[in-house]
Structure 1
Amino acid sequence: MGKYDYLIIGAGIIGLTIARELIRRYPRKRICVIEKEDQVAMHSSGRNSGVLHAGFYYSSDSLKARFTRDGNIAMTRFCEENRLKINKCGKLIVAVNEEELAGLEELKRRGDRNGVELVWLDLEEARKIDPNVFTFQRALYSPNTSSVDPVEVCQQMKWESSRSGVEFRFNTVYLRHNNNQLVTNHGIIECDYVINTAGLYADKIAHKYGFGKKFTIIPFKGIYLKYTKNKSDVMTHIYPVPNLNNPFLGVHFTKTVDNSIKIGPTAIPALWRENYSGLHRFKSSEFIQILYYEAKLFLKNSFNFRRLALEEVKKYKKTNFIHLSLKMIRHLDIEGFGDFLKPGIRAQLLNKETLELVQDFVLEGDHQSMHVLNAVSPAFTCSIPFAEYVVDEIIKNQKQNFIQSDSVRYRKIDY
């Protein structure tokens, strides 16, 4: 099947942006992306909310803070340059009581440290942006939060990279490797360097290369519910004050690129990695392993997992789900909601030793392979600067190996 300089496993947004960055730097290199599905963005990337976050949720010492801020700018530019749909509707973060005002204060501090614009509004000012919003005394407004169509973005990325010389091989499944040979369901592919961006299966592949041994993926199911009555009852993104101790932002209102309204998502612990509906793609080995770790989390109540799991499962009932959204607005027709939308699965990295959810990006690799173990939300927003960072790390590892190899060679000569 030929030999490549770089081979990327997975055609989600992270794999696509890394391919794009590599071909931009090395237009003469042979780069290939393999994907087990028949098209790009068939899992987390294509089932993403589409929100381009601004970058104020995260502590300033995290990679997420920098990549979200810079990624918002980069992805906005990418959409505008390629005439892709973008809805610059902004976001209101609201409090429901006096206690949550402290949470808004912390978000404002983080936004200031991260260089992200956030504006204090009183209730009257907030209602000029969205007449239907409710908040206790004050709200924060993020003018740079917007929405895109994630599938459209991924398809454009693929088209652009294909035109520049990147090869895509779909319906191609990584099975195992032997040094620089990858065994797939369509034969052997040789490459000098492997980049693992396999999302829900990134840890499994990393383990085969000897990396990420202390981590495992725990899947969480995210579901949105569409408001079908109209597109005008909510005018902007409306979010609650989140619990900053876990990576989930709570049920909120999202405005899509076509101005539709949806609420969500859930963060329901899934029972296997692609547990979208029914027994589709059920794997007993995954079920046993994931149930084992979820049981440990439940019994030890790490990061309040017990409460999280019980509250999230209740969201399968529509009325419970809708009720959580009503605290942030003045009125809404509860009969105006349609069906649940296509679910997505978040690939959340768990530290098996500490039983903590890892809340920042995790990379492990060497001079032969690099593994994106935790492309944590909001990875879609972060993807362009994150890809630059990954490629920088790859080059650094390759150069370091070259220097070490050269040093050994000269020592042998001297001897």
Structure 2
Amino acid sequence: MILMKHYSYLIVGGGIIGLTIARELKRKVSDKTIVILEKEADIAQHSSGRNSGVLHAGFYYSADSLKAKFTRDGNRAMREYCETNGLRINYCGKVIVANDEYELKGLEELKRRGDRNGVELYWKTEEELMEIDPNVKTHKMALYSPNTASVDPIEVCNAFKQEVTAKGVEIRYNTQFKNHDGNTIHTNNGSITCDYLINAAGLYADHIAHQYGFGRKYTIIPFKGIYLKYAENKTDIATNIYPVPNLKNPFLGVHFTKTVDNSIKIGPTAIPAFWRENYKGFERFRLGEFLQILYYEAKLFLKNSFNFRSLAFEEMKKYSKSVFIGLSLKMVKKLDKDGFGHFLRPGIRAQLLNKETLELVQDFVLEGDERSMHVLNAVSPAFTCSIPFAKYVVDQIEQKRGGL
């Protein structure tokens, strides 16, 4: 008889959320055995390693949301983590610009949210913007966030990986959760047992949650994010430049990002994808996913929930390089439209959809009990939020179990 290996905690998903939860668990209960199941050959192969690398400040979100608190605190925590561990960080800040009087009202709402959330956010006139980035263009006023910064997300995830494995966390690569029978977890590489399961599976978090009886009213709808590199130089843009977003959906619009090495890129898109890992061509195509996602996207299109119809049309246009570039040029005074190079590696946002209301869920969603906990909606800015969010998840587990 072959005995299955047993762990105190089993975490599904080796992205930033899975890694930081493992770190927090080890901080609180160092003697417990922890394993992370990662279906890829290394950590951070999906959203965690494909995001913009921007550490957001926390002024986009309503004050009563988990995102507001965790983004503000996470920005500070992640900056400290990078500094302590010698990781690269670019303190480039961010400005949010307006095109007209209507968008100025949007800036006013962002300022109110920033104030309520305790986030540093300052009004800047067109003249004052010259000191931050002389190439920024706005209508009368802009908002300036000094605490927005950029990091290398893969470098950060690798630092967390090294930290947790040094503390005894095991990571099983190329190991995919298939199903469970009580505390026995079946994978493509055999079965193991655990006292407690934590689902941080990103694009597939809903599938796993449903097997445990959670998240039944939700499904994940994937949106593809594409970035375009500005290849001419690294100096034409000095800071992150964002437009006023539509606060009714979780997408921030095409913007300029300064990366950790001062490179410049524009993006991302929020193009509806047709399967969960729809990065390129028909790679990782799954017919079942395609049919299910097509069903919900058709419903969203027909009912035009959260203006999905116009969102889909506008986003699909961004496959055109000229349209994509044109949107970015509205925010700057001068930039060579022929200076853009190649499209960068795309990412997929795992966006939770409420199947009953057909609305996109804006905040984090966490469901669980004394046997398992499921992170259902760790969407942007989950990377920024990861350290305090992991503490919150572990606290919720402790409450559900009556201890760790």
Output aligned runs, 1:218-297, within 5 Å.
218-297=221-300
| Alignment partners' CA distance in 2, 1:97 and 1:117 | 24
| Alignment partners' CA distance in 2, 1:3 and 1:45 | 28
Match of 2:305 in 1: 302
Q: Which amino acid aligns with 2:16?
A: I
Post-superposition CA distance 1:88-118 (Å, at most 9, x none): 0000110011111101110000000000000
Give 1 or 2 for the bigger CA radius of gyration. 1
Asked if 1:205 is matched to 2:222, the reply is no
Match of 1:110 in 2: 113
| Alignment partners' CA distance in 1, 2:131 and 2:75 | 25
Alignment match of 1:12 (pick from 10, 15, 18): 15
| Alignment partners' CA distance in 1, 2:13 and 2:43 | 8
Secondary structure of 1:342 counterpart: coil
Q: Which amino acid aligns with 2:218?
A: F
Asked if 1:177 is matched to 2:180, the reply is yes
Output aligned runs, 1:42-57, within 5 Å.
42-57=45-60
Asked if 1:168 is matched to 2:171, the reply is yes
Report the aligned-residue RMSD: 0.8
Alignment match of 1:124 (pick from 122, 127, 133): 127
| Alignment partners' CA distance in 1, 2:285 and 2:373 | 28
Secondary structure of 2:131 counterpart: helix
Post-superposition CA distance 1:385-412 (Å, at most 9, x none): 0000000000000018x9xxxxxxxxxx
Post-superposition CA distance 1:350-373 (Å, at most 9, x none): 000000000000011000000000
| Alignment partners' CA distance in 1, 2:41 and 2:258 | 29
Q: Which amino acid aligns with 1:9?
A: V
Match of 2:62 in 1: 59
| Alignment partners' CA distance in 2, 1:151 and 1:382 | 16
Q: Which amino acid aligns with 1:395?
A: E
| Alignment partners' CA distance in 2, 1:69 and 1:61 | 13
Alignment match of 2:189 (pick from 173, 186, 189): 186
Secondary structure of 1:77 counterpart: helix
Match of 1:21 in 2: 24
Alignment match of 1:215 (pick from 213, 218, 239): 218
Post-superposition CA distance 1:292-337 (Å, at most 9, x none): 0000000000000000000000000000000000110001001100
- Detail structure 1 runs of 4+ shifted over 3 Å in the superposition: none
Output aligned runs, 1:78-97, within 5 Å.
78-97=81-100
Asked if 1:391 is matched to 2:394, the reply is yes
State the TM-score, normalizing by the size of structure 2. Answer: 0.99
Shift of 1:204: 0.4
Secondary structure of 1:160 counterpart: helix
Alignment match of 1:356 (pick from 356, 359, 365): 359
Shift of 1:248: 0.1
| Alignment partners' CA distance in 2, 1:178 and 1:88 | 48
| Alignment partners' CA distance in 1, 2:114 and 2:14 | 32
Q: Which amino acid aligns with 2:281?
A: G
User: Which stretches in structure 2 are left out of the alignment for 5+ residues?
Assistant: none
Q: How many residues align?
A: 401
Shift of 1:128: 1.1
| Alignment partners' CA distance in 1, 2:373 and 2:195 | 12
Match of 1:413 in 2: none
| Alignment partners' CA distance in 2, 1:381 and 1:17 | 11
Match of 1:338 in 2: 341
Shift of 1:185: 1.1
Asked if 1:151 is matched to 2:154, the reply is yes
Secondary structure of 2:316 counterpart: helix
Q: Which amino acid aligns with 1:344?
A: G
| Alignment partners' CA distance in 1, 2:190 and 2:103 | 56
User: Which stretches in structure 1 are left out of the alignment for 5+ residues?
Assistant: 403-415
Secondary structure of 2:402 counterpart: helix
Asked if 1:133 is matched to 2:136, the reply is yes
Shift of 1:15: 0.3
| Alignment partners' CA distance in 2, 1:114 and 1:175 | 40
Q: Which amino acid aligns with 2:230?
A: Y
State the TM-score, normalizing by the size of structure 1. Answer: 0.96
Match of 1:3 in 2: 6
Q: Which amino acid aligns with 1:102?
A: K
Output aligned runs, 1:66-81, within 5 Å.
66-81=69-84
